[in-house]
Structure 1
Amino acid sequence: MNDPQTIAPPPAPLTLHAADGFRLGGVVWRHRTHAVDGAPRPLAIVNAATSVRCRYYFRFAGWLHRQGWDVVVYDYRGIGESRPERLAGLYATWLDWGERDFEAVLRHAREAFAGQPIDVVAHSIGGFVTGLAPSGALIRRVFTVGAQYAHWRDYAPRSRLPMLLKWHAVMPALATLCGYVPAKRLGWMEDTPRGVALAWSRSRARFEDTYVRAPIARSAEERAALVKRLANCAAPILAVSVTDDPFGTIPAIERLLGYFAGAPRTHLRIAPAQIGVEEIGHFAFFHSRFETRLWPLALRWLRTGSLGPQTPGIVISARNINVDAPEHAAQ
Structure 2
Amino acid sequence: MKTFNSDDITIDCQDGQQLAATLFTPKDEVKGAVLIGPATGIKRQFYHSFACYLVENGYGVISYDNRGIGESLSGKVRASKASLQCWGEQDMPAVLEALKGYFPDTSYHLIGHSAGGQLVGLMHNGKDLSSIFNFASSSGQLKNMKLPYSLKANFFMNVFVPLSNLFFGHTKSQLVGMGEPLPKGVAQQWRLWCNGQGYVKTAFGKTVNQHWYHELTTPSMWVNASDDDIAIDDNVADMLSVFKKLKVDTLTVSPQAHGLDEIGHMKFFSRKSKSLWQHAINWLEQHSSS
User: TM (normalized to structure 2)?
Assistant: 0.92
Q: 3-state SS of the aligned residue for 1:30?
A: strand
1:18 pairs with one of 6, 10, 13:
13
Identify unmatched segments of 5+ residues in structure 1.
Answer: 1-5, 212-217, 307-331
User: Which of 272, 289, 304 is the equivalent residue of 2:272?
Assistant: 289
Unaligned runs of 5+ in 2: none
Query: Corresponding residue for 1:207?
Result: 199
- Deviation per CA, 1:88-118: give whole Å up to 9, x if none: 1223221111100001111222223221211
Alpha-carbon distance in structure 2 between the residues aligned to 1:151 and 1:9:
40
30, 52, 75: which one aligns with 2:25: 30
Report which stretch shifted further, 65-74 or 175-184.
175-184
CA distance in 2, matches of 1:72, 1:210: 30
CA shift, 1:141, in A, is 0.9
- 1:300 paired to 2:272: no
2:248 paired residue among 256, 265, 268: 265
Percent identity between matched residues is 24
The two structures have a TM-score, normalised by structure 1, of 0.81
AA aligned to 1:45 is L
User: Which whole-Å CA distance do the structure 1 matches of 2:176 and 2:286 have between them?
Assistant: 42
Indicate if the aligned counterparts of 1:169 and 1:201 stay in contact, CA closer than 8 A.
no
Relative contact order (alpha carbons < 8 A, sep ≥ 6): 1 or 2 greater? 2
For the 8 Å contact 2:201–2:242, the answer to whether it is kept is no
- Match of 1:223? 208
Q: Which has the larger radius of gyration?
A: 1
User: CA shift at 1:219, angstroms?
Assistant: 4.9
Structure 1 match to 2:221: 238
Does the Cα contact within 8 Å between 1:22 and 1:77 map onto a contact in 2? yes
Matches of residues 1-331 of structure 1 in structure 2 within 5 Å? 7-33=2-28, 36=29, 41-203=31-193, 204-208=196-200, 210-211=202-203, 219-220=205-206, 223=208, 225-226=210-211, 229-291=212-274, 293-305=275-287
| Residue 185 of structure 1, CA deviation | 4.5
In the TM superposition, residue 305 of structure 1 has moved relative to its aligned partner by 4.7
Note the alpha carbon deviations across 1:42-81, whole angstroms, 9 max, x for none: 0111001110101000000001110000110001111112
- 8 Å contact 2:35–2:61 — kept in the other structure? yes
Shift of 1:290: 1.6
In the alignment, the residues of structure 1 paired with residue 27 and residue 252 of structure 2 have an alpha-carbon distance, to the nearest angstrom, of 37
| Contact 2:22–2:63, Cα closer than 8 Å, also in 1 | yes
Residues 128 and 148 in structure 1, CA contact (< 8 A), matched pair in contact too: yes
Asked if structure 1 preserves the Cα contact closer than 8 Å seen for 2:4 and 2:56, the reply is no
Question: Which amino acid letter does the alignment assign opposite residue 208 of structure 2?
Answer: R
- Contact kept in structure 1, 2:139 and 2:231, CA below 8 Å: no
Number of matched pairs:
286
Contact 1:54 1:74 in 2 (8 A): yes
**Given the superposition, is the C-alpha separation of residues 43 and 305 from structure 1 closer, same or farther in structure 2, using an over 3 Å criterion?**
closer
Tell me which amino acid in the other structure corresponds to 1:205.
Answer: Q
| Superposed CA offset, 1:254-278 (max 9, x none) | 1111222222101111222222333
CA distance in 1, matches of 2:106, 2:166: 44
SS state at 1:167 partner: helix
Q: Which runs of 4+ in 1 moved over 4 A?
A: none
What letter is aligned with 1:223? Answer: V
In structure 2, C-alpha distance between the alignment counterparts of 1:219 and 1:144, rounded to whole Å: 26
Does the aligned pair in 2 maintain the 1:53–1:190 contact within 8 Å?
A: yes
Q: 1:193 to 1:41 in 2, by over 3 A?
A: same
Change over 3 Å in CA distance of 1:219–1:131 after alignment to 2: closer
Deviation at 1:155, TM superposition (A): 2.2
Secondary structure of 2:214 counterpart: helix
Q: Distance in 1 between matches of 2:21 and 2:78?
A: 22
Aligned AA (1:225): Q
Give the superposed CA RMSD.
2.0
Q: C-alpha distance in 2, partners of 1:194/1:7?
A: 41
